[in-house]
Amino acid sequence: MWVAAQERSWKEQKVHHKVVVLGANGLVGSELLKNLPNSRGLLHSDLRIEDFDQTRELLLRIRPDLIINTAGLNNTDACEQMPEQSFKSNCLGAKNLAVTAGELDIPLVQFSTDYVFGGKSDRKTPYGEEDLPHPVNVCGISKLAGEHFVASYCPRHYIIRISAVYGPGGSRAKGGRDFIKTILRLCKEKEVIRVVDDQFVSPTCAIDLAKKVKELVGTGRYGTYHMGGSGVCSWYEFATAIFEIRGISAQVSAVKTDPGPSLRRAFYTGLRNRGIVDAGLKDLDHWRVCLERYLRDYEE
């Protein structure tokens, strides 16, 4: 009853809310703008969150009621190649937003990643919010550091860890492509498509994710949450499911990860969404159900 009342309160007061979405042209940010009323999107050209003075000055001028940060350096390879920039974007930027949100006494939604975990490929159990993070690469380490700053400097925070996100917008960090768009393109260009079968994730549709975030911020239950599509699969299983659902005959070969000497991979980062269920919300659907719905309704 309490959660339902909070959700009604959000809906009744939504015309009075001003929401700032950072990273508005990204895969997640663009979907959030569609779902949150009176939201204003900011790009990196509008605000460099790694610059504290600029961040504080702009947000104090806007005076939002809620800040949602989807910005950051999320490309794993880019993070390894540019660790300094990774920590500026994912850690220092998160700290600057947390300090400013704390000063404004407003909630901050900070998006993090499943890469704060780095389980071996033979792991069988998805990670819950209660599990101890142990990142193995720069992306995961810098995002986890950002989580700590948010939790320390902004009491009213939602930290949301996501996994293998796909959606209509594609990933800005990957040139407008996500895994689905890439794999469907490759089937037209190559006779054999090679996909790793030793990296495990919880594929997540950005459309479903944005709707669940809207529900969560209506509860007022701050904390750390996992929001991955229910269940876990390898990238190879995800690729074969895409072709099966689309009725495409493609030759997909399962291969092992060859990260090279300078790239460190997280092999198992499947997520279990215990937190949102404990908050009284419905869990995200199984990743295959979400994928079927997305390929039917959105992906051309």
Domain ranges within the chain, ordered by starting residue: 2-167+204-230+271-287
157 membership: H or E segment, kind and range: strand 157-162
Residue length, the chain? 300
Q: How far apart are CA 224 and CA 288, in angstroms?
A: 25
Sheet holding 223-226, edge to edge: 39-42, 19-22, 66-69, 108-113, 157-162, 223-226
Lowest mean pLDDT across 7-16, 170-179, 197-206, 277-286: 7-16
Is 70 a residue whose pLDDT tops 70?
A: yes
pTM score, whole prediction: 0.91
CB count in 10 Å sphere of residue 288: 18
Lowest mean pLDDT across 71-75, 100-104, 165-169, 174-178: 174-178
Q: How far apart are CA 189 and CA 209, in angstroms?
A: 31
Is 7 a residue whose pLDDT tops 50?
A: no
195 membership: H or E segment, kind and range: strand 192-196
Fold of 2-167+204-230+271-287: Rossmann fold (3.40.50)
Query: CA–CA distance from 221 to each of 35, 132, 279 (Å)?
Result: 20, 21, 7
CB half-sphere exposure, 279, CA atoms < 13 A: 26
Task: Report CA 110 to chain centroid distance, whole Å.
Answer: 9
CB half-sphere exposure, 163, CA atoms < 13 A: 35
Using the Cα atoms of residue 169, residue 173, residue 179 and residue 185 in order, give the sign of their dihedral. Answer: positive
- pLDDT tens string 163-176: 999 999 755 555 55
* Residues 269-283, mean pLDDT to the nearest whole number: 97
Q: How far apart are CA 73 and CA 139, in angstroms?
A: 8
SS3 call for 222: coil
Place of tokens 């390929």: 295
CB count in 10 Å sphere of residue 132: 7
- pLDDT tens string 186-195: 998 888 999 9
Provide Rg for the chain, Cα atoms.
19
Q: How far apart are CA 127 and CA 117, in angstroms?
A: 8
Confidence of residue 121 (pLDDT cuts 50, 70, 90): confident
Place of tokens 């979400």: 290
Pairing assessment for the beta strands 157-162 and 108-113 based on DSSP bridges: parallel
pLDDT at 120: 87
SS3 call for 260: coil
Query: CA–CA distance from 203 to each of 44, 185, 206 (Å)?
Result: 26, 19, 10
pLDDT at 299: 61
pLDDT at 265: 84
- pLDDT tens string 239-252: 999 999 999 999 99
pLDDT at 259: 67
CB-CB contact of 40 with 65 (8 Å): no
pLDDT at 5: 42
- pLDDT tens string 126-181: 999 999 999 999 999 999 999 999 999 999 999 999 999 999 975 555 555 789 99
- Averaged pLDDT score across all residues of the chain: 90
CB-CB contact of 112 with 269 (8 Å): no
CB count in 10 Å sphere of residue 95: 21
SS3 call for 230: strand
* pLDDT > 90 fraction of the chain, expressed in percent and rounded: 80
